[in-house]
Chain A
Amino acid sequence: MMIIDKLAYSSKLRYKNPMLKTVFATGMLLICVAAHMLAVSAVVLVFMAALTIRFSTVSFSHYTKLMGIPFGFLILSTIAIVLNISDTPAGFFSAAVGGKYLVADGTSLLEGARLVMTALASVSCLYFLTLTTPVIDILAVLRSLRCPKIIVELMLLIYRYIFIVLDMASAIKTSQNCRLGNKDFMTELRSMGQMLTVLLIRSMNRSSCLFDAMESRCYNGELQVLEEHRPAKTGETILVIGSLSVMLAITVSLKLLGGVL
């Protein structure tokens, strides 16, 4: 969370128009989900990964590590789709379980691969957005898309205070560990409980202090703030529309050719 945030601020695309970046990432995402084809997903994955590595400070190995986070979940859920239950052995893989067989055949394997690839490609689109766009800019996009104010305001406050709560938590944890609060498992559990209690109380205190501070600045129930303008350059807009169209063209032609992948 902290790392992704840091990376977003140091990205070379940070000051580009956030709406353009959002349109680009979600456009690619939609194409690859709608196509649901192995080839299209692979192209999107490679393209987005290359862009992200090129324009952010993430290295290739770091990027693969980031990709590894959703990969574990993906594999687990795909196993359930690839494997079927059958009365007789079938396909190229069968395992007897009780009186039945767990089987996998070509079709189910292909479907599994397609799912994994589509999911990874979608994640790469979202990583592109989160690794190049600070949260504040994403909030600005949500605002201009007429997302309900209450949601945007909550996101703004939660985002700001995540860091403060994390700081408080790590300070409390350090001070507990200094006094052997982690000497064995039971003590550690107890320390954790006490930490959570203290965090809750302090957070309540902070929220009332924050409210006083906002009231002092004539808060009227709405967080009105100035938006930063980062106008999109024509060239960038053309690039985004161009790459989305090319991607769409590839997808449509592959569909028309009736590729099984």
Chain B
Amino acid sequence: MKDIILSLEAVHFIYEDGTEALKGIDLQVRRGERLAIMGANGSGKSTLFLTLNGIRKPTSGRVLFNGAPVDYSRKGLLELRKKVGIVFQDPDNQLFSASVMQEISFGAMNLGMPEDEVRARVERVMEELDITSFKEKPTHFLSGGQKKRVSIADILVMDPEIIILDEPAAALDPKHARIIDRIIDELGRRGITVILSTHDVDRALIWADRVVLLDDGTVIGDGTPDEIFNDEEALTRTNLEKPAVLKIFETLCEAGVLKRDLPVPHTTGELERYIREVNK
């Protein structure tokens, strides 16, 4: 059992205009896990993310980081945000500088590191995310995929323990979405805890260790992708479709083509292999 890095206990959040965005969320994030948060637009995902690094303070309930309640003093919040980074959905709301290098250096500079160290980190992150080739371009001439990479570099440069990505593939073409997917896979391999929100059930089935379904500010499902994507009722409530691979697998089992005792496939590749092996 992995240890708990972040947990929410009965967290409520009400905006100033009276909208209740979070209605008693209980959630535990384990160190190093890949967690997908899914839910319709307006279900509270973004608000939830902002409570995870202390930008929004719960109206009631507690947030615990490494077992200790979050300290909402200036200093406590800086400590928390150093460890919990958020990559926002729209890079234009995150990138404030026209210079790629200045943009990426911002977070590291705020950590109070010496300039040489910041420079080395910025260079390293730019290298890792393939940003070096366009680092001299101003941010307003970058493509959507390039902006997204810069916005991930923004956070990675701070070396956080948890990275939260709000719909990282939104508005990207398939090619750039795949590039971002690979970057996210790499984050997981490095042992960074990754939380992401997505509407892509097929991707969540392949990638996630755990899926949490959010509906109207409450958690209505929390489990492995297999458990969640077989919960028809919860899927309907969150306007999600069952992943295509699971649907087809089910149909093939019902039609007697495949045996029910096969491990549930997660990728089209696995399913194709089953089908090819049927007549052998």
Q: Which residues of A contact B (CB under 8 A)?
A: 5-6, 9, 134-136, 156-157, 159-160, 163-164, 206, 209-210, 212-220, 223-228
Complex CA gap A60/B78 in Å reads: 54
B55 with A226: CB separation less than 8 A: no
Q: Return the contact of B138 from the options A136, A206, A209 (Cβ within 8 A).
A: A136
Residues of B within 8 A of A (CB): 50, 53, 55, 78, 81-82, 85-86, 88, 90, 92-99, 101-103, 105-107, 109-111, 115, 118-119, 122, 137-141, 154-155, 158
Please state if A223 and B81 are interface contacts (CB–CB under 8 Å): no
Name A226's contact: one of B82, B119, B139 (CB within 8 Å): B119
Residues of chain A within 8 A (CB-CB) of B82 are 218
**Which residues on B sit within 8 Å (CB–CB) of A164?**
92, 140
Q: Are A213 and B93 in contact (CB under 8 A)?
A: yes
- Check if B86 sits within 8 Å of A225, measured CB to CB: no
Return chain B residues, CB-CB under 8 Å to A225: 97, 99, 102-103, 105-106, 109
Q: Is the interface of B mostly helix, strand, loop or mixed?
A: helix
Q: How far is the CB of B197 from chain A (nearest CB, A)?
A: 15
**Does B155 contact A217, Cβ atoms closer than 8 Å?**
yes
C-alpha gap A217/B107 in the complex (Å): 5
Complex: A220 Cα to B78 Cα, angstroms: 9
Complex interface: chain B residues within 8 A of A224 (CB): 106, 109-110
Closest 7 CB pairs of A and B: A226-B105, A225-B102, A217-B107, A163-B140, A218-B110, A224-B109, A209-B93
List A contacts of B98 (CB < 8 A): 134-136, 156, 159-160
In the complex, what residue of chain B is closest to A205 when comparing beta carbons? B93
Cβ–Cβ < 8 Å partners of A219 in chain B: 106, 110
The CA-CA distance from A219 to B54 in the complex, in Å, is: 13
> Complex formed: what's the CA distance from A20 to B101 in Å?
22
| Contact A216 B53, CB 8 Å, known A136-B98, A226-B102, A226-B105 | yes
